[in-house]
């Protein structure tokens, strides 16, 4: 958790840091379960059915994240538990990173960096890379973050297409109801949708093969959007041109086969991790909690 968020929570509430208690936590729950009225989670842990059932007086789950895949929304709705997240404040950072990954992969920035640091430049010039400008871009999920990626890609004169559950109004971007068709018709594919049962492994072998040996996959959504073994195989076999990944299926574990590949850029789930956005997210978590306990309208309600 953010140190700033922890400090703000401690200043206002009686805070239990669950990670300080051994797992399983029967003694902790036996002692404190009745007094806990709020849970604050993030991209790693939220509130599953077991946790919700073990906290009989739980009133609100506040996520320090825009994603809701770590929260059992059905159970919360059933029990009348309110849920909030932190949309909007992280949109620009995540979109910036997505474009940055696309540039880093296509222009081989990390390989170039190692080339210079290792003193290889003195032996000759670095080879050629691929341009990002004017590429055809596909986006899976045209929500806040997907739209922000599209806006940025347009500034690079990229053509924009997208796939989502339904066609979006008020946009001239080309819509594909079939994600395989989208992948076949773009050169760089961004994954920016919410993780649901329907979008789990939405990037499978068919999509990867449609994107092809010159295509680039950028995932700034959730690791489980991508069938990771299929992605690894495609990169090793040259069926996919490259990838930029901020998220992984089993974080913080990353397939070791990826480490030696020069056509992939790996970052450790840092899409929203800037000083400015981390504070804004924390402030939004606090504001939602304070609004709830003062019986005022929530700022960013999910339920």
Tell me which residues are annotated as active site. Answer: 222, 251, 269
Q: Sign (positive/negative) of CA torsion 111, 116, 121, 122?
A: negative
Structure tokens at 102: 């696309």
Site of tokens 């990037």:
203
Structure tokens at 280: 């804004």
How would you label 154-188 residue by residue, b for 16+ Cβ within 10 Å and e otherwise? eeeebbbbbbbeeeeeeeebeebeebbebbbbbbb
């Amino acid at each position: 958790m953010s140190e700033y968020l922890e400090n703000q929570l401690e200043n206002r509430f009686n805070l239990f840091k669950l990670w300080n208690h051994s797992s399983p936590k029967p003694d902790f729950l036996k002692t404190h379960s009745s007094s806990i009225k709020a849970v604050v989670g993030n991209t790693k842990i939220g509130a599953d059915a077991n946790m919700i059932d073990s906290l009989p007086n739980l009133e609100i789950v506040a996520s320090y994240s825009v994603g809701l895949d770590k929260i059992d929304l059905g159970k919360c709705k059933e029990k009348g538990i309110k849920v909030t997240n932190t949309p909007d404040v992280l949109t620009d950072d995540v979109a910036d990173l997505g474009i940055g990954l696309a540039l880093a992969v296509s222009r081989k920035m990390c390989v170039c960096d190692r080339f210079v640091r290792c003193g290889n430049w003195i032996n000759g010039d670095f080879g050629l890379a691929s341009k990002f400008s004017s590429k055809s871009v596909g986006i899976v999920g045209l929500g806040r973050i997907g739209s922000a990626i599209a806006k940025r890609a347009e500034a690079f004169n990229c053509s924009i297409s997208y796939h989502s559950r339904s066609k979006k109004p008020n946009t001239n971007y080309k819509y594909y109801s079939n994600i395989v068709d989208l992948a076949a018709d773009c050169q760089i594919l961004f994954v920016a949708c919410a993780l649901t049962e329907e979008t789990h492994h939405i990037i499978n072998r068919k999509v990867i093969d449609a994107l092809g040996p010159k295509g680039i996959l950028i995932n700034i959504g959730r690791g489980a959007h991508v069938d990771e073994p299929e992605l690894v195989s495609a990169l090793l076999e040259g069926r996919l041109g490259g990838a930029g990944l901020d998220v992984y299926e089993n974080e913080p574990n990353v397939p070791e086969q990826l480490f030696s590949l020069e056509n992939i850029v790996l970052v450790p789930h840092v899409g929203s991790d800037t000083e400015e956005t981390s504070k804004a997210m924390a402030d939004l978590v606090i504001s939602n909690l304070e609004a709830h306990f003062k019986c005022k309208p929530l700022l960013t309600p999910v339920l």
